[in-house]
A and B are shown apart, each in its own frame.
Chain A
Amino acid sequence: MFTFDDIKTHLADFTYEPLDVTGTMCAIIPSEKIRDVARIIKEQFGFTHFIDVLGVDRNERKMRFEVIYNLRNPQTKERIFLKTRCDERDPHVLSVVSIWSGANWHEREAFDMYGIIFDGHPDMRRMYMPDDFEYNPLRKDFPLMGVEGSIPLPEHPEMAVSMN
């Protein structure tokens, strides 16, 4: 049974904030440590199956964005979550693509939707939105109806009515 305290034997200055995601272990760790912790978790504790990355806009002045990693151990069937946070003015998080190649598209999606930049990512492009789109749609300050003129729409008279 894995616990986050086990990481301390491999990384002496490891600190974390424990959290419970309805029955699943979770830890908030500093963003500069994420790659070291990820490598230890994968190589020493067998969390090789990369499930998901998601960004969250916490809508707070400090540490606005959160990145959540969803990991599984295929042998013991355990699941853990890792969390790290970054500030709005400096939205940089270390990429973990060099550790799990499965993080590639998920990190691109978080970049697309929140503008979180993953340092060390081999191909930091938008995932869904067009490359010349200027906004990050899942940020809480992006309106649901979109920003007028941000994306070229086909000529359609009824669409013009509904946008007004």
Chain B
Amino acid sequence: MIEQELINPKTAPKQKIYEALLSKDTSVTLGEDSLDNQMILNMGPQHPATHGVLRVLLRLDGETIISSECELGYLHRGYEKLAENMTYHEFIPHTDRLDYISPIANNVAYCMAVEKLMHVHVPRRAEIIRVICCELARISSHLMAAGAMGMDVGALTVFVWTMREREKLYDIFDILTGARFTVSYMRIGGMAQDITPECISMIKVFMDGLAEATREIAALLHKNRIFIGRCEGIGIMPPEEAIDVGWTGPCLRASGIPSDLRRDQPYLIYPELDFNVITRTECDALARYFVRFDEVAESVKIIRQCLDKLQPGPIFADDAKVVLPRKGEIYTSMEELINDFVLVNFGQAPPKGESYSAIEASKGELGWYLISDGTGTPWRSKIRSPSFVNLQGLSRILEGAMISDTVAIIGSLDPIMGEADK
């Protein structure tokens, strides 16, 4: 898992990443004793605490990290290139594979970007269901982050308990979307199918149980001396530097900046909803954990309000040139058959232009910059992924930390490599 090697800068491998690591500070001390030498530790890409395939090179003096360098690209699948070669609809399943912990939120972000490009407005019921989906995805993601961070510092029980709650969420997704993990639920102009009364009652049961589960997790962790001791005061990111490096989401809010796109650039029905933007001022790894933990309760609050607002109505925009027709209509109506043929084979053709649309996903600002040349495939589809940018701050907060804090710091950033590598 961890391989280590002593680096003599004169004979160091002439690899660019090592050069980048060493170029930050050229004063390498070489002592007589091998323990006096600075050491380069290669962590990952197959390290369990890197939450995927992140490679971090750490330059150590004893147990203190002097500098570090991240290497990404082990999960790079070229989604931006793929997106340029398929229709807008065909790309929806690929968005599931970006942040695979909260796939529904990615679907929503992508569909909203395409709808903005095409000037399509989804009906109110679809907007409410989308908010419910986004918040369920946020709960799923934050539970995973809390559990994984606990596991990274040795509290395995929490991970099992959060996975138990996420299992109930997967059952809800199964009923709602027909798939547990990679859901591909959203469509441009609406969603695949309507939410059923059975699903609504499952969500209500889940939310009632979640309050008890979060209480149990809080009892296990929030006064736990080992957990607090390992997470408190490490990975400190001052607010102005967090802004400068481009952090968004819970990481930025843990640095005391109340930045939340649900408030700042309201989309869907968020302006009507009553919720708090959780912030902390400690700026450390523990603060980032607490922000996520408290946001779970806010998400539950949002879902309850949404379920109250849910009224019967259409779930698709009324635009035959954009929205895929229902299967029943295709088999009975000639016009719908033609529309289906055109949409599946050539795709929707948005007007020439550019648009940027972003949502507050569980990790931060998830946005799409789409450039259309008037044909059925996008000319450019840029994914602004929050994990990528949050990881950019990793080198900064690892500086001066102890090597044993690395896992807790990476866990507190909650990176998903599928999203960071695209």
Contact = CB atoms under 8 A, between A and B. Distances in A.
B244 A50 contact: yes
A18 interface: no
Contact of B246 (A56, A102, A137): A102
Interface string A114-153: 0000000001011111110000011000101000000000
B264 A127 contact: no
Nearest to A132: B16
A116 to B, nearest CB: 14
Interface stretch (B164-172, B218-226, B381-389): B381-389
A161 B389 CA distance: 38
A22 B117 contact: yes
A102 B391 CA distance: 11
Contacts of A137: 78, 81
Nearest to B379: A56
Nearest to A19: B354
Interface string A11-27: 00000000001101000
Interface stretch (A1-9, A32-40, A73-81, A87-95): A73-81
A48 interface: yes
B353 A22 contact: yes
Contacts of B23: 123
A144 B377 CA distance: 14
Nearest to A83: B354
Interface stretch (B136-144, B292-300, B363-371): B363-371
Contacts of A45: none
A125 B246 contact: no
Interface magnitude class on chain A? 35 or more
Given A74-B259, A101-B245, A128-B76, A54 B380 contact: yes
A22 B116 contact: yes
A51 B246 contact: yes
Contacts of A51: 246, 248, 365, 367, 384, 389
Contacts of B17: 125, 131
Contact of B73 (A21, A79, A127): A127
A127 B72 contact: yes
B382 A54 contact: yes
B392 interface: yes
Contacts of B241: 101
A70 interface: yes
Contacts of A74: 243, 257, 259
B344 to A, nearest CB: 20
A68 B382 CA distance: 11
Contacts, number: 95
A36 to B, nearest CB: 19
Interface residues of B, number: 44
Contacts of A50: 244-246
Contacts of A130: 73
Contact of A81 (B85, B244, B356): B356
A52 B379 CA distance: 18
Nearest to B370: A22
A128 B248 CA distance: 22
Contact of B384 (A49, A70, A104, A131): A70
B238 to A, nearest CB: 13
B355 interface: yes
Nearest to A99: B244
Contacts of B76: 128-129
B4 interface: no
B369 A128 contact: no
A128 B356 contact: no
Contact of B369 (A52, A126, A142): A52
A123 B20 contact: yes
A159 B117 CA distance: 38
B122 to A, nearest CB: 16
A84 B246 CA distance: 20
A82 B388 CA distance: 21
A131 B16 contact: yes
B90 interface: no
Contact of B371 (A52, A56, A102, A123): A56
B80 interface: yes
Interface in B364-418: 365, 367, 369, 371, 379-380, 382, 384, 388-389, 392
Given A74-B259, A101-B245, A128 B392 contact: no
B26 interface: no
Contacts of B353: 21-22
Contacts of B117: 22
Contact of A138 (B81, B246, B392): B81
Given A51-B384, A70-B369, 4 more contacts: A24-B356, A51-B248, A74-B243, A127-B73
Interface of A: 21-22, 24, 48-52, 54, 56-57, 68, 70, 74, 77, 79, 81, 100-102, 104-105, 113, 123, 125-131, 137-138, 142, 144
Give the top 5 A-B pairs by smallest Cβ distance, nearest first.
A102-B246, A128-B73, A22-B355, A128-B76, A77-B264
11 contacts: A22-B117, A49-B259, A52-B382, A52-B384, A74-B243, A123-B20, A125-B16, A125-B20, A128-B72, A130-B73, A138-B80
